[in-house]
Structure 1
Amino acid sequence: MDGNNRQESLRIALFTYSTKPRGGVVHTLELAEHIQNLGHDVHIFALGKDEQGFFRSTSFPNTFIPCAMGEKNESLDNRIERYIDTYFQFLVTHLQTSFDIYHAQDCVSANALWQASEKGLFSFFIRTIHHVDDFVTPRLIQCQKDSIYKPDYCLVVSEYWKDRLMSEFGVDSHIIHNGVNINRFRPPTDAQRKSAQKKLGVSGRTVFLSIGGIEPRKNSIRLMKAFDLARQQLSKQGLDSILLIAGGETLFDYTSYREEFFKCLHDSDLEIGKDILLLDTVEDEQIPELYHAADGLLFPSVKEGWGLVVLEALASGLPVLTSDISVFKEYLRHEENAFMVSAEDDSSIAFGIEKLAVDLPLKQRLVSSGPKTAKLYSWENTAKAHLEYYYDVLSAKSKPLFQHEF
């Protein structure tokens, strides 16, 4: 195509492995909606493991690929292999519409697209690499490597992961940051805050929020221990604190980690339902209410691609505690728009929790600066950056646009 001909509408296929509210899926849905709003045709393909569709309503065409849930004792290696093969076989037998862009958002769909491209279904594809997992089995390690090496073009969401891909894999990539829906996530009114706290049964308490479930990457065990330390100190100052842990359905099996979490919880002075409230998977429309009810977001992750939850909390005017990992330092500044702690130190996290609760000047500063930071990362800007990248790729490939038939 003519590299300067950027007014013609594109037909874009986005691919994801899940329909659940994980970060990569949220990214895919928001990207699709905002690209569509800019006048382009978008179609999402996803594994439909539970036949229930996406966790929230959508306004664009989508295809759910039939996929069995599998046996309870199925190994992760076999499950991933089955997901990839199911995805690939569906594309080979059912993908009849031609798209200008084929864009995978995860390891599973990237492997399926690679195999489909080897069959000649399309000439190139793109993958967004949100982060790299620490797999231990040879099959999963190879699966991840293929999903990094085989795409023709790679996107990342942070400078940190761009550097990691180049240093560890020798793969070049282009950065397009994640966004946040600043119309949906905004500071609550006093009435909204009181209503949200009443619904959750936490009125009059100092409420801390963790979103992402119980898993190693979210540092859940250390967070729980740190909260126990902080809760005891805050109690001496007359504050009754509670930790809400929300969300968390994931592709991976964290059974052993969850068992360790609950063992540590049992050995602590914390009580489920009194000091910690486990909300599991929360309906999408309830997410803003969680931010409205909370006094602070606790997010001491050991690894993140960017941190969609952090952006949502910032936009909601919620004081944020994060770890001081490199990704967060790309858009957060300690005590300016977040309180940053050591992810490996219980006492550091506990100290940060106490600061969010009792340091009023700090809280006011974070409440004020959060929405200002979030406004720098709108999904509309993210969508526009993707479109510019897509046009650049098509121009570089000298690929003519398909003539669409409707």
Structure 2
Amino acid sequence: MARTDRPERVAVLSLHTSPVAQPGTGDAGGMNVYILQTARQMASRGVEVEIFTRATSSKDAAAFEAAPGVLIRNIAAGPFEGLDKHDLPTQLCAFAAGVLREEARHEPGYYDVIHSHYWLSGQVGWLARDRWRVPLVHTAHTLAAVKNASLAVGDKPESASREIGEKQVVEEADRLTANTIDEAKSLIEVYGADPDKIDVVAPGADLSVFKPGDRARARAALGVDAGEIVVTFVGRIQPLKAPDVLISAAAELHRREPALPLRILIVGGPSGTGLERPDSLIRLAASLGISSLVTFLPPQPPERLAEVYRASDLVAVPSYSESFGLVAIEAQACGTPVVAADVGGLGVAVRGGETGVLVPSHDPLEWATAIGSLLTNDRLRARMATNAPKHAQNFSWEHTADALLDTYQRAAQHFGGVIAQAVDGERPSGEFSPRRPRGVWRLRRQGVKSL
């Protein structure tokens, strides 16, 4: 569809993790992939994207181009290393100052829209929105209240201050995006969001990288025996992602079917509360007597990760909470069925019975049954492997970027309406004072020079 009123430049805020960080360790995960991939897609459509993130090393360049039309700005805010995610609220002022100072170097109206990711960035985006007089779009990615409602055993709940902060951003944003309808319902029911300002925008996968390929070659590259049956976990090693459920299920499956040539791949690094016991999975496998069946790999770059998926017979996503589940889409795009917990967006990412199995609990016994039913049914698994890439084709970053650009337009329309009210002397209580609509490209194209 032809678009004649796109923004010219978008300011993207990602305070707590850089979009170029390696997913699968630290605080880097699906959100990092989302930000960088959608930025690349928008840049390919002629929209310049500047991503503001927090510098985590003195060696970080103040600014660099991550892709043509995509600029990363590293803002100094707090110590470069050793700052826990839960301490980042202490650096909101420093990060906000760096963002505002950058905009002040340019002529008014330099940025057309702000897109904040995660609640910390939303707090800064809210301030920048009022200062720059441009619309704010916010994507939460995860919600504290939803995570707290389904905690893993022994995991720590998200703080009340985060829930309060999220609610503030939900109220202030001109537009919200949710990964799924279920997430949109949570925004409405738990956070009191206005349903009329929510767009459901599904994430995607890089389908040029994640696609079916030669399984034998992939296995040879990873050093996996041709005769082994491989079940893989990909993600951060922390209670929320529940890799322990897979290991416990594997032990039970091995007890039931000792002749099954099982190989469990765990791909990722410790993160969050998982940093408190970085060797917990190794100890768990040893205590269950299956150390010889479990292989640990560090986080992998995209091309190598695609080989991991192709080498696998199944990919397991046993998370306690997922707003979507990019791993599930990436695996299916490579032709690998998925066994996933029936939580959050995983019910959208996986078509139960067609491209994989959705497990209604985190009981290792039930997981052993679900995994075993697929591993011992070659015909069913082959059918799912055929269906999986077809399903994944519905989720691409091209689709995501197009939907975001539509959201930006809606945000501008709403924002322009607020300013029009202000000009007519009907400014709603709590709105900013009337000024030139800096960055509202729809109004600029209509010839509005000043207000």
CA distance in 2, matches of 1:314, 1:71: 36
After the TM superposition, which of the residue ranges 320-329 and 178-187 deviates more from structure 2? 320-329
> What is the one-letter code of the residue matched to 1:176?
V
Aligned residues: percent identity?
Answer: 22
1:63 aligns with 2:73: yes
Superposed displacement of residue 370, structure 1: 0.5
Q: 1:136 to 1:323 in 2, by over 3 A?
A: closer
Aligned to 1:100: 112
- Whether the 8 Å contact between 2:329 and 2:349 is mirrored in structure 1 is no
Match of 2:56 in 1: 49
Q: What is the deviation of 1:124?
A: 3.3
- Once residues 49 and 223 of structure 1 are traced to their aligned partners in structure 2, the CA distance between those partners, rounded to angstroms, is 33
Greater Cα shift, 5-14 or 281-290: 5-14
Q: Post-superposition shift, 1:253?
A: 3.6
**Which residue type is aligned with residue 130 of structure 1?**
H
Q: Indicate how the Cα distance of structure 1 residues 216 and 257 shifts in structure 2: closer, same or farther if over 3 A, else same.
A: farther
The one-character-per-residue Cα deviations of 1:185-220 (angstroms, maximum 9, x if unpaired) are: 11112xxx2232223221222111111122122122
Instruction: For 1:123 and 1:300, locate their aligned partners in 2 and report how far apart those are by CA, in whole Å.
Output: 40
Deviations 1:117-172 (A, max 9, x none): 45x13443111122213344343343333343332321111111100111111113
**Alignment-mate amino acid for residue 201 of structure 2:** I
Where 2:212 maps in the other structure, the secondary structure is coil
356-365 vs 312-321, which moves further: 356-365
One-letter code aligned to 2:54: L
Q: TM-score, normalised by structure 2?
A: 0.79
Offset of residue 319 of structure 1: 1.3
SS of equivalent residue, structure 1 residue 298: strand
SS of the equivalent of 1:235 reads coil
User: For residue 266 of structure 1, what is the aligned residue in structure 2?
Assistant: 286
Normalised by the length of structure 1, the TM-score is 0.87
Q: Are the structure 2 counterparts of residues 305 and 375 from structure 1 closer, same or farther at C-alpha, using a change threshold of 3 Å?
A: same
Alignment check: 8 A CA contact 1:158 1:305 kept: yes
Aligned partner of 2:191 in structure 1 is 169
Aligned to 1:359: 377
Q: 1:329 to 1:281 in 2, by over 3 A?
A: closer
For the Cα contact (< 8 Å) 1:223–1:346, is it kept in 2?
A: yes
Take 1:284 and 1:5, find their aligned partners in 2: how far apart are those partners? 31
Structure 2: state its 5+ residue gaps: 24-28, 149-156, 417-436, 446-451
Q: Which runs of 5+ in 1 are unaligned?
A: none
Would you identify which runs of 4 or more consecutive aligned residues in structure 1 move more than 4 Å?
51-54, 67-72, 256-263
Structure 1 residues 58 and 285: alpha-carbon distance in aligned structure 2, compared to 1, 3 A threshold: farther
* Contact preservation (8 Å) 1:184, 1:288: yes
Find out whether 1:87 has 2:100 as its counterpart: no
What's 2:319 paired with?
A: 301
Partner of 2:427: none
SS of residue matched to 1:81:
helix
Instruction: Please name the residue that 1:241 is paired with.
Output: 262
Greater gyration radius: 2
Separation of aligned partners in 2, 1:112 and 1:372: 39
Aligned length: 388
2:425 aligned partner: none
Q: Which residue of 2 is the match for residue 129 of structure 1?
A: 140
* Cα-to-partner distance string for 1:277-309 (whole Å, 9 max, x where unaligned): 222322333111111211110112211111111
Residues 316-325 or 12-21, more deviating = 12-21
Does structure 1 residue 383 correspond to structure 2 residue 401? yes
The residue aligned with 2:34 is 27
Match of 2:234 among 193, 197, 211: 211
Equivalent residue letter for 1:89: A
> Which residue among 169, 185, 188 is the counterpart of 2:210?
185
Tell me, yes or no, if structure 1 residue 114 matches structure 2 residue 126.
Answer: yes
Distance 1:194 1:391 in 2: 47
